A and B are shown apart, each in its own frame.
Chain A
């Protein structure tokens, strides 16, 4: 078959080659929005049925949908937008994917080659605008280059530390009247790009020795373990050593949240036990993490007694903020496999007595129960209770996308993810408006799965136009809106640092009726106002398996997210409630 195909040389236009190359690359679905500069490409889409195109209602949503698809499946998300405003609308989504190292290909139309630089209609320098937020970008000069550019773009986007790649294509390059020989390359070689695989054995040995001698170790893992499909090996390693594990906001699900060895999320809104264990540890094994400021708090006070072992595929992530004692550059699977092998071969055994002692100290911290929820009076719903109920109703098996704010932190703290790629959120850029379109990408990738978007009434209004897309493609997403009638996270900071002066963070009097809004778009809307009806109404919403349901849950507007790191402190310095701190 392959031989036959390569014998028969096809003649295709640039636009046709692009879509054909996507198909040959294994792309099933692209997210986009048409316009002048990409009309030849859209015509090529019309004339085939191999690559499905999903029409969103705003280009930003196309990028987030592709991003959600990529996070849930591990496959690259593909976006198609027109030049000028189409391209600039995609920028927030590209930056979001870049910050979280998500593989994505963004194809943007461009004005005719002859018009570039002339301030032509809908011309914008997309390669220039996107430069700081892409892994790489291409401006296609000739139609014949398209297959190779596509091949390179996917190779770069999906290997090493993944990231978004932009392909900017002038309209004349896709001219349907000019046909060229089509051949999709089998492989690609870039002399300036190599992908780290195996780590340095000497370094890994050193790390293993330190791990086996550790008395108060913590394994701290992030998005890299999810992206690098290292979850299984992480579990094996942690269990073998009986070490405690904590995950970053980006890494949730890499280690099962219901497991005894899991300490919960760490960092700014991490659990008491996770942050205390980090601070008092003697060895930190960081895997696929970047020692982000939202984790470390003041770097100078970070884990004062700990040796830092840092595994990452990106050498630039290592010793960027916190100097590593043992840096290991490599893919998470290669490095963990080698670690496990070395541990097996080693004469030394874990210092069980010390580790048991460490566990009893950790169990002491656990008793603080930093995520305890105190029910309110008067049947008022606490936002945390919504997530707890959601977890029960979905049996912990849903794909949960979130927006940004308090609701995001509550979802991260209270939904116990046991599997990777189930928790989909914009951790690095913190993009409000991400959650809902990301949930569309998840639902399109897995039509039979439960795709939930946990959002706030603020974030949801940043991409609510996608309700129309969901009607068109019959996406039965469940939108759980923790409606606190405010930009809650902003308000929380204003409570804590600005004497409760709510500068432009409240708008209760001008909120839309979300139930009617959902109905206007042909969906179902449900409002929940009392704790006594929370479980039953939420269950009712999830029973509507074939419908998108917007669940508007009125929650206590005064609630804060705790624990919360005390700015400028060490990881052990936290507010535990409005009145208590460490």
Chain B
């Protein structure tokens, strides 16, 4: 099963490499990873999506917790949560395709953020599934470039991840 693990990490040099190193060292896979400082500048927030059975995920979270730089972590997929990913996608927009792409982007609530005579650059936010859905929907179009941020997420309701 796919899991989203959110981590508060000391904002120290080398901290990120310890997390990433742990995954390669123990043969866990990383599907996506996002990282940026939080409102507290001494902390970064990291979101990792990974796939594994319960036993594997338990090992991953235990080993992450052992890293001295990991202050706190939560497996968001254990409870109700919100996940979002941002995608920037550059497509060929000529002839009949031009309208078709625009229409599909609207349906998916995407925004066209850059335009030339032949090209649309579209920004889309949503779950990874939704972004995949959009890519499937425009599969008849020539896609020139895709940049995805990877998943970021928080728990629903009162629950917070903080120190």
Neighbouring A residues of B71 by C-beta, 8 Å: 191-192
Is the beta-carbon distance between A131 and B66 smaller than 8 angstroms?
A: no
CA distance A136 to B15 in the complex (A): 10
Q: Which chain A residues in 316-360 approach chain B with CB under 8 Å?
A: 316, 319-320, 323
B109 part of interface (Cβ distance < 8 Å): no
Closest to A314 in B: B66
CA distance A131 to B70 in the complex (A): 15
A517 part of interface (Cβ distance < 8 Å): no
Is the beta-carbon distance between A156 and B68 smaller than 8 angstroms?
A: yes
A127 part of interface (Cβ distance < 8 Å): yes
Neighbouring B residues of A315 by C-beta, 8 Å: 62, 65
Is the beta-carbon distance between B68 and A131 smaller than 8 angstroms?
A: no
Is the beta-carbon distance between B13 and A192 smaller than 8 angstroms?
A: no
**The one of A131, A191, A314, A319 that contacts B18, using a Cβ cutoff of 8 Å:** A131
CA distance A24 to B71 in the complex (A): 29
Closest to A163 in B: B66
Neighbouring B residues of A127 by C-beta, 8 Å: 14
A200 to B: closest C-beta gap in Å? 16
Is the beta-carbon distance between B59 and A316 smaller than 8 angstroms?
A: yes
CA distance A139 to B15 in the complex (A): 12
B10 part of interface (Cβ distance < 8 Å): yes
Neighbouring B residues of A192 by C-beta, 8 Å: 10, 68-72
Is the beta-carbon distance between B25 and A132 smaller than 8 angstroms?
A: yes
CA distance A474 to B46 in the complex (A): 54
Closest to B9 in A: A192
Number of A-B contacts (CB under 8 A): 36
Is the beta-carbon distance between A136 and B68 smaller than 8 angstroms?
A: yes
Neighbouring B residues of A193 by C-beta, 8 Å: 68
CA distance A472 to B17 in the complex (A): 42
B41 part of interface (Cβ distance < 8 Å): no
B160 part of interface (Cβ distance < 8 Å): no
Q: A190-B68, A193-B68 are in contact. Are A128 and B17 (CB under 8 A)?
A: yes
CA distance A190 to B17 in the complex (A): 20
Closest to A135 in B: B68
Q: Which chain A residues in 114-164 approach chain B with CB under 8 Å?
A: 127-128, 131-132, 135-137, 139, 156
Closest to A317 in B: B62
B159 part of interface (Cβ distance < 8 Å): no
Is the beta-carbon distance between B17 and A131 smaller than 8 angstroms?
A: yes
Which of A127, A128, A131, A139 is most buried by chain B, counting CB atoms within 10 A of its CB? A131
Closest to B163 in A: A191
B20 to A: closest C-beta gap in Å? 10
Q: Which chain B residues in 65-87 approach chain A with CB under 8 Å?
A: 65-66, 68-72
Neighbouring A residues of B72 by C-beta, 8 Å: 192
Is the beta-carbon distance between A319 and B70 smaller than 8 angstroms?
A: no
Is the beta-carbon distance between B21 and A131 smaller than 8 angstroms?
A: yes
Neighbouring A residues of B17 by C-beta, 8 Å: 128, 131
B63 part of interface (Cβ distance < 8 Å): yes
Q: Which chain B residues in 21-71 approach chain A with CB under 8 Å?
A: 21, 25, 55, 58-59, 62-63, 65-66, 68-71
CA distance A127 to B17 in the complex (A): 10
A105 to B: closest C-beta gap in Å? 15
Neighbouring B residues of A314 by C-beta, 8 Å: 66
Neighbouring A residues of B25 by C-beta, 8 Å: 132
* 29 A/B residue pairs, CB under 8 Å, sorted by A: A128-B17, A131-B17, A132-B21, A132-B25, A135-B68, A136-B68, A137-B14, A139-B13, A139-B14, A156-B68, A190-B68, A191-B71, A191-B163, A192-B10, A192-B68, A192-B70, A192-B71, A192-B72, A193-B68, A314-B66, A315-B62, A315-B65, A316-B59, A316-B63, A316-B65, A316-B66, A319-B58, A320-B59, A323-B55
A residues in contact (CB < 8 Å) with B: 127-128, 131-132, 135-137, 139, 156, 190-193, 314-316, 319-320, 323
